[in-house]
Structures are given as C-alpha cells and as structure tokens.
Amino acid sequence: MSQPAIELARAKVNLTLHVGGARDDGYHPLSSHVVFADAADVLTAQISNQFSLTIDGPFGAGLSAGEDNLILRAARFAHNQLGGPYLRFHLIKNLPLSSGIGGGSADAAAAMRHVANFSGRAVSDIARSEEIGADIPVCLLSRTAMMSGIGETVSRMTGQGRHYGLLVNPGVPVSTGKIFHAFDQGPAGDLAQPSNADLITAARAGRNDLQPIACDLQPDIIRVLDQLSGQPGVKLSRMSGSGASCFAITQDMQSAHDIQAHLSAAHPQWWIWAGGFGDPS
C-alpha cells in the first residue's frame, strides 16, 4: 500500500483584523494582515472508494468525523469542481478548537489541496471556496497575505521573511456569534490599512476590532495579553481572530522559547506554542 499524502494545516494568525459593518446578507467586510505559524494540524489522504475521515491528536477528542465535518464538506466541494478519486482522510488535531487561529478552516483547506493534488489540478482551479468558510481562501494559500472583502480577496505579501514568537490559548470558550452581535451594536471599524509597509510595521499600525469585545466577554484573554506584553523581547502582541488565542512576535527564537518556559511554569493549564511564523524559506 502506498504511503498517505501529507498536508500541513498551519495555524492562521490575524496580525490585524479591521471589521466593517454587517452587509445585508449578514457578512462583515474586513481587512486583515495574515501570517501562518509553523504550529499545524496534520491531514493525510489516501485513495479510497468514498470520502471518509478519522481523527486523533491532542485536541481530537469529541470532534465528530461525520458527514457534516468541515473537512469532508470541503473535500466534496472541491471534488465537484475538480473530479479525481475519493479520499480517506486522517486528521491529527494539534491545534486547540474554536480558538481564533483558523484550525478548522486550515484543515478544510488542506483537504481541498489534497483533492486538487490527487486530481492533477491546480488549487487555483477551485472557485468560490469562501462559500465553505470566509477563512478558506487565505488558508488555501497558507502564505503571508492581506485578506479583504468577506475573505474572498487574498493578496499575497512576498518578501516578508521569517519571524518568531508564541501562540497562547488560555483554554476558555469564546462565542464568535456573541462577539459579532456585540460588535454590531457599536460603530463599524475603518478597513483602511497600510499596504506598503513591512509586515510588523503594518501590524503595529493596525488593530483587532474584536479584541476589546472578546476581552469583556472573557477576561482570561486580558491576562494572556498582559503576560505577553510585559515579556522581554516582545515586539508585538495581540489577540488573533475572534480569540481566545493570542500571539506575540519576538525579536528572536530564543526569546520565544524563554517566554514559553516562563509562562508554562506559571500557567500550566494554558496551551503555549513557540516557533516560526511566516513563509517557509
């Protein structure tokens, strides 16, 4: 039997997230500088007589592998456009669930890449992937980019290099629905962002419009941000997406690992990852 093909579903990190007012269809326009971390779920695939999925890994418990799983929905969506064989998927779930780092979308995008590869087609041949999820287009690319529209417009940002830092999740639930409901009660954000600055400079000039609301709903996020911002070597820290995961970009890898060791000792219940961000060299 041939070895299964492997796709990494890297964590999506919103360095910035500017959110506009809800459209008539309920979607929110946005603009976001996105970078991908080396932290990743692993999705393997082998040819089979039907689409199927099995799941394990540190965060796999309780995840349904049924027909409504986003991986299988994404695979069927891509297969309807590209054809090719059916696939048996296996997911190693290393990223925490519903945590603002696009784990589910990254998994779904990895499934779409598998379908494209097994069909001999290009990933760019998959149209309207945002219909599966707003983060799918940027996760299909899985490279440093600016995303806009409702997520369907993705502009790659080349030459941004590698960065180092941490992802921290306090292990508390955050309701995206509640966050957007609260956001809709206030003024919409300004979508404008720098387009000609280097990534970190642009990120420092931006913000996450959902962060204040998430912090009000879940104060543990404030604790994470306070811990990250006060550490030596941190150049930028913020919440990613709708939370509860937060990130810190550090001056070097050693700083990231030193902070990880310190925070892991002080907060053993937190999920803390340290490593590289940005496009592989």
Positions annotated as catalytic residues are 12, 135
Distances (CA, A) of 24 to 29, 30, 37, 186: 11, 15, 34, 17
- The Cα–Cα gap between 98 and 172 comes to 10
Place of tokens 């997520």: 151
Q: Which segments of 87-236 does DSSP mark as H helices, in order? A: 103-119, 136-141, 176-183, 199-205, 211-217, 220-229
Element (H, E) at 6: strand 5-14
Q: How many CB atoms lie within 10 A of CB 188?
A: 15
Going 252 to 192 to 210 to 63, the CA torsion angle's sign is negative
